[in-house]
C-alpha cells in the first residue's frame, strides 16, 4: 500500500501521540509501580489527544499498552505486576488518529540493571535503527531483517522468528510482514508511501518462544532476558521518516 501525503500527515499525528505515550510511561515506570498503573498513564495521553487505542479490544486485548518484563518478549497484559529494581521492561504503545495507526515500543531498565541487560537493550535498539536505515525506495524489504539480524547476532544475541514487524496504515497489522531475520527471499521492492512498523525482538539466549496460559504473554523458552524496540516508519523520497519520534 502506498500512502498519500494527506494520509501520511494523519499517520504523523498518530505517531506523535504514540511518542507521547512513550514519554509518559517511561517517566512513570519505577520500582513499586504496577504495570496496570502504566496503562492508566497511557490512557490519559490518548484521552488528552483525542486519539483512540488500537490495542484495546484487539482480539479481546484488555489494555492500551503491552508491558513485557524481563524474560517476557511481547504482548504482556498490564496488571498487578510490581516493577522491581533491576527489571527490564518492554512497553509497546499504539494510537489511532482519524483512522490512521501508529505503533512503537521501547525497552527500559528499572533502576540499576545488570551490564548484560544494558547491553541487550542497547543492541536491540541499534538493530532497530540498522533495519530502519534499509527503508529506502528501490531496496528489498527483507534487507531490513538482514540488517537487524546482523547487529543482534554480532553481539551474541538471537532474533525471535515467530513474531515480526508489519505494514501499517488504516489497520495496525497490514501485509506484508517484516521478518527480523533474513528469510532467504528478497521480498517486495520498497516504494515511496510504504509505511512499516519495524520491531526487533532480541533474546540473550535461544530464539525459541513460549505462549503463556493467558494466551497473550510470549516469553523466552529458556527464561533468558528479551528486549523489544519498534518504530513506525514511512519510505519517502528523502529516505526513511520515523513517524513515532517525539
b/e 1-27 (16+ beta carbons within 10 angstroms → b): eebeeebbebbbbbbbbbbbbbebbee
CA angle 119, 125, 126 (to 5 degrees): 85
Nearest to 235 by CA among 132, 99, 143: 132
| Residue 231: CB minimum distance to Mg ion, A | 9
C-alpha cell at 185: 527471499
Q: How many residues bind Mg ion (CB under 5 A)?
A: 6
| Residue 136: CB minimum distance to Mg ion, A | 21
| Residue 166: CB minimum distance to Mg ion, A | 6
Q: Binding string, 157-196, against Mg ion, x = CB under 5 A?
A: ----------------------------------------
103 binds Mg ion, rule: CB under 5 A: yes
Q: Residues 199 to 228: which contact Mg ion by CB under 5 A?
A: 199
Nearer to Mg ion, 66 or 123 (CB): 66
Q: Which of 18, 41, 45, 197 binds Mg ion (CB under 5 A)?
A: 197
Nearer to Mg ion, 20 or 230 (CB): 230
Candidates 16-24, 105-113, 133-141, 215-223; binding stretch for Mg ion (CB under 5 A): 105-113
Cα separation values, 231 from 116, 130, 141, 205, 209, Å: 24, 12, 16, 24, 22
| Residue 105: CB minimum distance to Mg ion, A | 5
Distance separating alpha carbons of residues 68 and 134, to the nearest angstrom: 27
| Residue 232: CB minimum distance to Mg ion, A | 8
90 binds Mg ion, rule: CB under 5 A: no
Q: Which of 87, 92, 125, 241 binds Mg ion (CB under 5 A)?
A: 92
| Residue 197: CB minimum distance to Mg ion, A | 4
**Total residues belonging to the chain:** 246
Distance separating alpha carbons of residues 60 and 37, to the nearest angstrom: 20
CA angle 239, 243, 246 (to 5 degrees): 120
Candidates 34-42, 55-63, 101-109, 155-163; binding stretch for Mg ion (CB under 5 A): 101-109
Longest distance between any two alpha carbons in the chain, whole Å:
48
Nearer to Mg ion, 156 or 219 (CB): 219
87 binds Mg ion, rule: CB under 5 A: no
C-alpha cell at 87: 527489571
C-alpha cell at 65: 499498552
Residue ranges that bind Mg ion, judged by CB under 5 A: 92, 103, 105, 197, 199, 230
Amino acid at each position: 500500500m502506498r500512502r498519500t501525503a494527506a494520509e501520511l500527515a494523519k499517520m504523523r499525528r498518530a505517531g506523535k501521540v504514540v511518542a507521547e505515550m512513550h514519554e509518559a510511561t517511561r517517566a512513570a515506570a519505577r520500582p513499586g509501580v504496577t504495570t496496570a498503573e502504566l496503562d492508566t498513564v497511557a490512557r490519559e495521553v490518548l484521552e488528552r489527544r483525542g486519539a483512540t487505542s488500537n490495542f484495546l479490544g484487539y482480539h479481546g486485548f484488555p489494555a492500551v499498552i503491552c508491558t513485557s518484563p524481563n524474560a517476557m518478549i511481547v504482548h504482556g497484559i498490564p496488571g498487578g505486576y510490581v516493577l522491581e529494581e533491576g527489571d527490564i521492561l518492554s512497553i509497546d504503545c499504539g494510537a489511532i488518529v482519524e483512522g490512521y495507526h501508529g505503533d512503537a515500543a521501547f525497552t527500559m531498565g528499572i533502576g540499576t540493571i545488570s551490564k548484560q541487560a544494558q547491553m541487550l537493550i542497547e543492541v536491540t535498539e541499534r538493530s532497530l535503527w540498522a533495519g530502519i536505515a534499509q527503508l529506502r525506495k528501490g531496496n528489498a524489504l527483507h534487507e531490513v531483517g538482514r540488517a537487524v539480524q546482523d547487529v543482534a547476532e554480532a553481539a551474541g544475541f538471537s532474533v525471535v522468528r515467530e513474531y515480526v514487524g508489519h505494514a501499517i496504515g488504516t489497520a495496525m497489522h497490514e501485509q506484508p510482514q517484516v521478518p527480523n531475520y533474513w528469510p532467504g527471499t528478497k521480498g517486495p521492492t520498497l516504494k515511496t508511501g510504504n509505511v512499516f512498523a519495524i520491531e526487533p525482538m532480541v533474546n540473550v539466549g535461544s530464539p525459541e518462544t513460549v505462549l503463556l496460559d493467558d494466551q497473550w504473554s510470549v516469553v523466552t523458552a529458556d527464561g533468558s532476558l528479551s528486549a523489544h524496540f519498534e518504530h513506525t516508519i514511512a519510505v519517502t523520497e528523502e529516505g526513511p521518516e520515523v513517524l513515532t519520534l517525539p
